[in-house]
Amino acid sequence: MTNPVPPTQRTPDNEPAAAVRTAIAPDQDGPEQPPSLGKLFLANLWAANSATVTVLALVLSMLIGAVLIVLSSPDVLATFSYFTSRPGDALSASWEVISDAYLNLFRGAIFDAEAFAAWQAGEGSWQRVLAPISETLTYSTPLVFTGLSVALAFRGGLFNIGAQGQAIIGVICAALAGFLLPLPPVLHVVVAVLAGALGGALWGFIPGILKARAGAHEVINTIMLNYVATYFLAWIILQNGVKSPDRADAISKPVDASAQLPRLFGDDLRVHFGIIVAVLATAAVAWLLERSTLGFEMRAVGANPSAARTAGISVGKTYVLLMVVAGALAGLGGTNMVLGSTASALTPLVIAQIGFNGILVALLGRVKPWGVLAAALLFGALTAGGNRMQSYTGISLELVSVLQALIVIFIAAPALVKALFGLRAARAGRAQTKLAKGW
């Protein structure tokens, strides 16, 4: 007869304690192995993280753009008048116009297979093969600078809506240095670029010092300074010594060739040295924000000005430095519009909308330097591809602006994308895009 197990060694279920120890004992084969990289990827693929939201925002924008392409084509709409009798006609016509539009968008922005085949057959040049990438980089370059300008101010708690005005002052200073100063080639382009940066920095200093000393809101100040810069550009073009004597319209003298940014692949391709400067500026801003003491102070002020002041950080000085650096970046964006390949003289519309588009680029890039660079490349690709799409398909170029706006709307509203696609919540602690404190 076996001895019974003592009551102190029995579980509430009257099972031996040894069985419990066996059940709760760790695996004898060793500690639990971490999940593989593939499992982690699949687990996070459908989560509401930044990468997934961005990709799905692009998909949504392209789908809505496809609907707009169909609605803008009278020939396709005519096939829908007898849709119930022959639906295949409407569907095939819609697919044809949509695929043709997006294919030309891709060919104009990234790669043209026909140009590559012609080059391989000896019937075309390699410049034609690189032309789409060249156009994308050309349109992206000024947006990198204005996007960095807005993003840097955001990280410091300021909404720099004045990148447009700062770019205008930058383009004025760069152009004046480009055709008024008789300097040798290398020195001339360096001086002209620095003049543009200093002009933008000066225009950024004004709202910065007003914010620091008087508490004036930077949004109001920068909006007003945008108007001042616009009218100043229109006025200075008509002044003696600036206006071109050979033209009756409002245009300045052309910038000297010695002050032009050199083109990277010859005169047949428009991409110039400015794109290299843009990448270096992105790396510099990333280092400033993440590795330097000044960048830490900027981020601390942006997160909580009162706590930063208590910690001994001069909030007013930080605001001024933020706007000066942001203005210099926007000014560099302006210099690319007149020292690069876009234009060689001042006109009332020389700066286009690069300052306002910089706000969209900054938001799309999650106000992170390398994200801004990627967003600027996307906007540049849409613009370059949109030009070909309009030329080859007749679709309005404004559709590209609609696509850009839709992308920003969906990325700025991650809850909407999450609801539409049923995404899981992202892991806690992931940084989300924050708007400036004052906005």
Judge whether 186 lies within some domain. Answer: yes
Across 13-22, 138-147, 388-397, 423-432, the highest mean pLDDT is recorded for 138-147
339 within domain boundaries? yes
Q: For residue 31, what pLDDT is reported?
A: 57
Of 13 and 132, the one with more pLDDT: 132
> Which pLDDT value is given to residue 278?
96
Indicate the pLDDT class of residue 45, thresholds 50, 70 and 90. Answer: low
C-alpha neighbours within 13 Å on the C-beta side of residue 47: 13
Crossing angle (nearest 10°) for helices 126-155 and 87-109: 80
Low-confidence winner among 178-192, 194-208, 238-252, 393-407 (lowest mean pLDDT): 393-407
Query: For residue 291, what are its two tokens?
Result: 């590795």
- How would you label 176-188 residue by residue, b for 16+ Cβ within 10 Å and e otherwise? bbbbeeebeeeeb
User: Residue 261 is which amino acid?
Assistant: L
- The pTM of the full predicted model, rounded to 2 decimals, is 0.83
Written in H, E and C, the secondary structure of 169-229 is HHHHHHHHHHHHCCCCHHHHHHHHHHHHHHHHHHHHHHHHHHHHHHCCCHHHHHHHHHHHH
Domain count of the fold of the chain: 1
Average pLDDT over residues 87-116: 91
pLDDT at 336 over 50: yes
**Residue-level pLDDT at 53:** 78
The DSSP string of 383-423 is HHHHHHHHHHH---THHHHHHHHHHHHHHH-HHHHHHHHTP
Higher pLDDT, 396 or 234: 234
Q: Which domain holds residue 235?
A: 142-372
In a domain, 241, yes or no: yes
Strand partners, 304: none
Confidence at residue 284, expressed as pLDDT on a 0 to 100 scale: 96
User: Does the pLDDT of residue 8 top 80, yes or no?
Assistant: no
> Would you say residue 2 has pLDDT above 70?
no
- Of 266 and 1, the structure prediction assigns the larger pLDDT to 266
Q: What is the rounded CA–CA span in Å between residue 282 and residue 284?
A: 5
Quick check: 435 pLDDT over 50?
no
Distances (CA, A) of 42 to 35, 37, 69, 175, 418: 11, 9, 34, 53, 17
| Least confident interval from 207-211, 219-223, 406-410 | 406-410
Would you give the end-to-end CA distance of the chain in angstroms? 84
Mean pLDDT highest for which of 117-121, 174-178, 401-405?
174-178
204 is a domain residue = yes
Confidence of residue 401 (pLDDT cuts 50, 70, 90): confident
43: pLDDT confidence band, cut at 50, 70 and 90? low
Residue-level pLDDT at 192: 96
> Which of 100, 97, 96 is CA-nearest to residue 108?
100
Which candidate, 141, 182, 144, places its Cα nearest to that of 272?
Answer: 141
Two tokens, residue 408:
């920003």
Q: Averaged over 32-47, what is the pLDDT?
A: 60
Q: Sorting pLDDT into bands at 50, 70 and 90, what band is 369?
A: very high
Residue 372 pLDDT > 70, yes or no?
Answer: yes
The CA–CA distances, whole Å, from 99 to 160, 205, 387, 392 equal 39, 48, 16, 13
311: exposed, middle or buried (Cβ count in 10 Å: 0-12, 13-18, 19+): exposed
pLDDT score of 394: 76
Is the pLDDT confidence value at 77 over 70? Answer: yes
**55, pLDDT greater than 50:** yes
Q: What is the pLDDT of residue 366?
A: 87
312 belongs to a structural domain: yes
Asked if residue 316 belongs to a domain, the reply is yes
Residue 147 maps to a domain: yes
Query: What is the pLDDT confidence band of residue 123, given thresholds at 50, 70 and 90?
Result: confident
Q: What is the mean pLDDT of the chain?
A: 85
282-303 pLDDT tens trace: 999 999 999 999 999 999 999 9
Does residue 102 sit within a domain? no
